[in-house]
Amino acid sequence: MRKKEILKINKSLKQMLDIDSLGFRDEDIYESTTVLLKDRGNLTACILYSFYVSKYKDLKISGLSYGFFSSEINDILFKVFDSIKTTDIEGSPINHKYEYTINHRIVGEEWYDHVKKNFSIIFIESGVFYEDRVVLFAEMFKKHIETYIEPYFESYQSLQDINDKIIEAFDESKWGDFFYGETNFRVTIIMKLCKNPRYESFTEMVNDRIYSAIYNQGLTEYQNYYKMYNVLLDILSKL
């Protein structure tokens, strides 16, 4: 991996973005991945982007995502999933600190085309570094933040907003469109922390549903899920 090139380009990119003026602070969580952070009460707004080196040694941005994470929720989840993976498929360490509670999902062809068009710029191509492409990317990235990402961040100011604007506003079948995996676990924690009056009935329903899947439908692969969910309930009962 072109570590030196990535660090150099990323440093220039962050300077061009002027992230301080946008209200963000930055952390490089791996040599190829950067996260931009902005605190919002008991939530942290997060923009994450990564660099990618192709088999031809070309270098470009490979991924862009954004959403919110709650340190309190992540801390609870890490206690539940004590056997959680610590490395990815390539053996690199996984930093679960920034795991999204909710994240923006790319929906619709128009949005997909926009992202593909604006975030597929190659900075190093055939061994040649193109500084003007970094400048162009920074301009588009900053505009993207101001046009798309900041309005999304304005929608949620707290965990209570997530409770009110997602859990209470949408049918359960739609929650998966917002939450970043393990939806039942995240919803359960938010309901507890926000004193949602449906907490008891919801957790009973989830437990009954998992129990039925295991013992009435023979889906024994859910046994560990059932165990972990009840570990979560035990942790939450002590809060």
Q: What are the DSSP calls for 118-145, one per residue? A: HS--EEEETTEE-HHHHHHHHHHHHHHI
Does one domain contain both 99 and 198?
Answer: no
**DSSP letters spanning 61-110:** EEEEEEEEE-HHHHHHHHHH-TT--SB-TTSPBP-GGG--SEE----SHH
pLDDT digits (tens, 9 = 90+) for 189-202: 999 999 999 999 99
pLDDT of 169 over the 80 cut: yes
Last residue of a domain, one of 111, 135, 154: 154
Higher pLDDT pick, 96 / 197? 197
Q: Is the pLDDT of residue 58 over 60?
A: yes
Confidence band, pLDDT 50/70/90 cuts, at residue 86:
very low
pLDDT for residue 99 is more than 60: yes
Residue 151's pLDDT band, with cuts at 50, 70 and 90, is very high
Considering the domain architecture, whether residues 193 and 138 belong to the same structural domain is answered as no
Q: Are 124 and 2 in contact (CB under 8 A)?
A: yes
Q: Which domain holds residue 210?
A: 182-237
Stronger pLDDT, 92 or 158, i.e. the higher one: 158
Q: Above 80 in pLDDT, residue 67?
A: yes
Asked if residue 118 has pLDDT above 70, the reply is no
Q: Are residues 72 and 147 in the same domain?
A: yes
Tell me, yes or no, whether 141 and 189 share the same domain. no
167 part of a folded domain: no
Confidence of residue 119 (pLDDT cuts 50, 70, 90): low
Last residue of a domain, one of 139, 154, 169: 154
Based on the domain organization, do 36 and 132 belong to the same domain?
A: yes
Residue 226 has pLDDT above 70, yes or no: yes
Residues 109 and 52 in one domain: yes
14 and 96 belong to one structural domain: yes
Pair (48, 136) in one structural domain: yes
Residues 86, 202 within the same domain: no
In a domain, 177, yes or no: no
User: Token pair of 50, please?
Assistant: 């990564």
With 0.85 as the threshold, say if the pTM is over it. Answer: no
Angle at 151 between CA 37 and CA 179, to 5 degrees: 65
Domain boundary among 107, 136, 154: 154
Confidence of residue 113 (pLDDT cuts 50, 70, 90): low
- 150 and 188 belong to one structural domain: no
Where is pLDDT greater, at 57 or 135? 135
Question: Euclidean distance between the first and final Cα of the chain, in Å?
Answer: 45
Residue 103 domain flag: yes
Do 147 and 190 reside in the same domain of the chain? no
Structural domains of the chain, count: 2
Q: Which residue has the higher pLDDT, 143 or 119?
A: 143
Inform me whether the pLDDT recorded for 149 exceeds 80: yes
Q: Are residues 25 and 133 in the same domain?
A: yes
Q: What is the pLDDT of residue 62?
A: 75
